[in-house]
A and B are shown apart, each in its own frame.
Chain A
Amino acid sequence: MFTLSDLVQPEKLETAYQVLTNKRNNTILGGCAFLKMGSKRISTAIDLSNLNLNYIKEQDGFIEIGAMTSLRELETHILLREQFNGLLPKAVSSIIGVQFRNCVTVGASVFAKYGFSDVITALLALNTEVELYKGGRMPLADFLKQPKVKDILVRLWIKLDTRQATYLNLRKSASDYSILNVAVSKLDNQWTIVVGARPRRASIAIKASAALSQRSLSDAEMEEAANQAAEELAFGTNMRGTAEYRKALCKVLVKRAIMEVASECK
């Protein structure tokens, strides 16, 4: 369990950022579920609960999601259930249990860039941008490549388009982390293939996505795209699976996901 010397609940983002940057081990609190499993000594913890960042709304052609929105709200919100074939609810619905998902926040999940994250994989398959207090707005894929900085993730912006999408994963048991997770989407003729929990953080299989966008959708070509994704991405070994197993699994899950999306597009 972490320890705190002090805790503040600012009512302005500016104050939260000032406190965050005052000292190296000042930390923003998300849902605390991952943080509590370590023994971090936090000087001043910053709780964003009073900043009204718990919301999901549609605005100017985007779905705007506040950083303090819980994963359970992502799972149950009618707008997200209806968009992108319910991709986001599907991606978060197997994360432990309802009580857990009521605690943890989307902002912390994304900002921490967890390798095991299910929600990052799904968000990458959409046209998602993150908005940081200091760093401004940028595509999620760019944010994930950046080194970690002291900043505050304020909200996510997801472009409301007619994208078809799906999410698949494999777990050893219902509430365990994913051994591998996959999200695939298609907008017009542009495919996006994302693979996460490799166990490194989620990444777009750029070459496989581009190649699939040029092809017709025969069974052989879908399989070729899945194989290409598995070759293009790097996999690692941990207690849940070896790199070889993940690579083999990637081929299967990506092909199934492409088939699902292709079927939705018909």
Chain B
Amino acid sequence: MQITLTINDKLVIWDVEKDEILADTLRSHGLLSVKKACETSCCGLCTVWVEDKSVLSCTTLSVRAHGKKITTIEGVSKDAEDFARVLTAEGSEQCGFCSPGFVMNVLAMKKELVNPSDKEIIHYLTGNLCRCTGYMGQLRAVKTYLGVQ
């Protein structure tokens, strides 16, 4: 089946299987920041944006992305780098395994919430599991990055 997507501002036409998930499609075309881990739709590692909304690419069928705008961390590299520097400065980059999905969701939150409270930040990021469980460091980094107290 052929689908047309705009991946990181680039129009592409790809052949996909009907039951192929978006994470596999993106990885097969070299977008290796997109990772799969939990297989139960609950860890957030595979987060990408479809039409600027965070979604789980391990749960989204590629055919459903036809005609849509897809953004991976490669498409927001400047913002991702800025946030990654804050994560490092706060000592919360840890093993880095969850970082691609985490960064994508933090950047989505930045666009959606204005001056969020701790509670709102934690709630928004609940779907991103950190295998190192360093959530306090991550919260500190997110607040620094967003410029909230």
Contacts and interface: CB of A to CB of B under 8 A. Distances in A.
B55 A103 contact: yes
Instruction: Give the interface residue-count category, chain A.
Output: 20 to 34
B61 interface: yes
Contacts of A47: 61, 63-64
B103 to A, nearest CB: 13
A175 B60 contact: no
Interface in A37-82: 37, 45, 47, 49, 72
A174 B105 CA distance: 17
A100 B59 contact: yes
Main secondary structure of the interface of A (DSSP, over half): mixed
B44 interface: yes
B72 interface: no
Given A33-B59, A103-B56, A96 B41 contact: yes
B63 A98 contact: no
Contacts of B99: none
B123 interface: yes
B44 A99 contact: yes
Contacts of A29: 61
B18 to A, nearest CB: 4
A105 to B, nearest CB: 11
Interface residues of B, number: 32
A45 B20 CA distance: 13
A2 interface: yes
Contact of A99 (B40, B105, B123): B105
Contact of A98 (B19, B21, B124): B124
A4 interface: yes
A4 B64 CA distance: 14
A97 interface: yes
B110 interface: no
Given A31-B59, A37-B40, A47-B63, A99 B127 contact: yes
Nearest to B122: A174
Contacts of B128: 97
Interface string B91-126: 000000000010001001100000000000001111
B27 to A, nearest CB: 15
A51 B19 CA distance: 20
B105 A175 contact: no
A7 B21 CA distance: 13
Given A7-B18, A45-B18, A47-B64, A98 B59 contact: no
A37 B42 CA distance: 11
Interface of A: 1-7, 9, 29, 31-33, 36-37, 45, 47, 49, 72, 93-94, 96-100, 102-103, 174-175
